[in-house]
Amino acid sequence: MATLDLKRKLAILSDAAKYDASCASSGGTKRDSLGGKGVGSVDGGMGICHAYAPDGRCISLLKILLTNFCVYDCAYCVNRVSSNTQRARFSVDEVCDLTIGFYKRNYIEGLFLSSGIIRSADYTMEEMVRVARTLREVHDFRGYIHLKVIPEAAPRLVNQAALYADRVSINVELPRDASLAALAPEKDAGGIRKAMGAVRLGVDAGQEKGRKARPPKYAPAGQSTQMIVGADDAPDGEILKRSERLYGAYKLKRVYYSAFSPIPDSTARLPLARPPLVREHRLYQADWLMRFYGFDRAEIIGETEDLELAIDPKLAWALRNRGDFPLDLNTAERERMLRVPGLGVRSVDKMIEVRRFKALRLEDVKRLTRGIEKLKPFIVTADWTPGALTDAADLRERVTPPPQQQSLF
């Protein structure tokens, strides 16, 4: 086998990592090197890895695999053992040198590290832990680290990963356990849940109040997971129900949805075409409604149903529940205001602040939101009431005008 130089390894192993979406984060322990000690920093309020911070800045990290060798044969994975793809592998020192070198050049703000399975789950997890431990203890790196945990690894290794990393993630892979058994026979759904449960217990213990001696920080940014959408025939309602259970049982920070991407020489059991990307987008919107807007999954969609692709889930809910509208923005509670299509958390909080001093008028709402036309059928202000507009037969067409081709001239 030809020896690959570092640049070629980086090209192969960064490209192989692009399929893992569960790499953004926030809420890590605040660390810095302002006192002249250590390298790097973590701002506890920022997101990491090709995400956007609240002020619009793009946050980046080194997102790579330790190796794309893998002894598993997951049908949906381009790095499976039977795949005809060029292989590469980093050493522990190479990953550490790249991370420190890129950070000092201001290319990255942290590291996301995953891997194929080399030899065994324990061997691979031990190598990944060595990377994190070397960065923390040898290089005194204080930036963000996210490790992808291998659920089949020994609990002691999972525990060590969570002690060195800001966030860990364990992928459930597919919405259905039966699909996982059929398409990834080496993986066990029960073992994945057991590993996620162990991480939750560790996080809870680290946050327990009233203890005289607090344990070391354990995955301070929590854990996340990822589901592949469209590799099996699970409907959106079933996918979101699975997410709902994961949030409740394991206190996940986030579930990521990744649209299935067809790969070369794949099994006939997989679809030939990827699902529309807008489906992934709608799942994220529905997930957002469950986490931040007070919606239950059953309010958004039935278990056997799919989300509408043409309109967002909140607007679809409002059109089905017109009896809840119009809503008087000068008197309504925050929870009800968050259900108005077109109103976000920030705009609602600003309106509540403004109405302490004056009655909200339509022009106030217009200034605090991105658009007023979508809102008008669902709201009442001091100078506006929609009348019969809320119950108009063509309301859907009014609030979702057909797309138009943009012109350069």
Question: Do both 27 and 144 map to the same domain?
Answer: yes
Mean pLDDT of the chain: 86
Is pLDDT at 294 greater than 90 in this prediction?
yes
- 220 shares its domain with 325: no
Question: Is residue 190 in a domain?
Answer: yes
Same domain, residue pair 210 and 340 = no
Q: Are residues 26 and 157 in the same domain?
A: yes
Per-residue pLDDT band for 300 (boundaries 50, 70, 90) equals very high
Residues 77 and 177 in one domain: yes
Q: Which of 98, 96, 69, 95 is nearest to 83 (CA)?
A: 69
Report the pLDDT value the prediction gives residue 267, as an integer from 0 to 100. 73
Q: How high is the pLDDT of residue 79? A: 87
Using CA atoms, how far apart are residues 10 and 88, in angstroms rounded to an integer? 9
Count of alpha carbons within 13 angstroms of residue 143, beta-carbon side: 25
pLDDT (tens digit, 9 = 90+) per residue, 84-133? 888 999 999 999 999 999 999 888 888 999 999 999 999 999 999 999 99
Residues 205 and 324 in one domain: no
Domain carrying residue 339: 315-399
- Give the model's pLDDT for residue 24: 56
Whether residue 238 lies inside any domain: the answer is no
pLDDT at 84 (0 to 100):
84
The answer to whether the CB of 40 falls within 8 A of the CB of 143 is yes
Residue 288 included in any domain: no
Q: Is 71 exposed, middle or buried (0-12, 13-18, 19+ CB in 10 A)?
A: middle
273 in a domain, yes or no?
no
State the total domains in the chain.
2
Same domain as 55, residue 196: yes
Alpha helices in 112-256 (DSSP H): 121-133, 155-164, 177-183, 189-207, 236-250
Residues 214 and 321 in one domain: no
Residue 407 lies in a domain: no
Residue 52 pLDDT level (bands cut at 50, 70, 90): very low
pLDDT digits (tens, 9 = 90+) for 122-156: 999 999 999 999 999 999 998 889 999 999 999 99
Locate 86 and state its tokens: 């060029």
- Strands laid side by side in the 62-65 sheet: 62-65, 110-114, 144-148, 167-169, 223-229, 254-259
Contact 51, 253 (CB under 8 A): no
Does residue 372 lie in a domain region? yes
Same domain, 174 and 27: yes
Give the domain-ending residue among 195, 210, 227.
Answer: 227
Helix (H/G/I), strand (E/B), else coil: 393: coil
| DSSP structure class, residue 81 | T
At 326 the three-state DSSP class reads coil
Residue 213 sits in the same domain as residue 345: no
| CB of 225 closer than 8 Å to CB of 22 | yes
Q: Does residue 212 sit in the same domain as residue 332?
A: no
Q: Residue type at 55?
A: D
CATH of the domain at 18: 3.20.20
Which of 195, 227, 259 corresponds to the end of one domain?
Answer: 227
In a domain, 304, yes or no: no
What letter represents residue 353's amino acid? E
Q: Which residues contact 401 (CB under 8 A, 6 or more apart)?
A: none
Residue-level pLDDT at 273 = 83
The phi and psi torsions of 251 (rounded to 5 degrees) equal 50, 45
**Does 54 sit behind a cis peptide bond, omega within 30 degrees of 0 on the bond before it?**
no
Residues 138 and 15 in one domain: yes
Question: Which residue, of 184, 208, 227, is where some domain finishes?
Answer: 227
310 lies in some domain: no
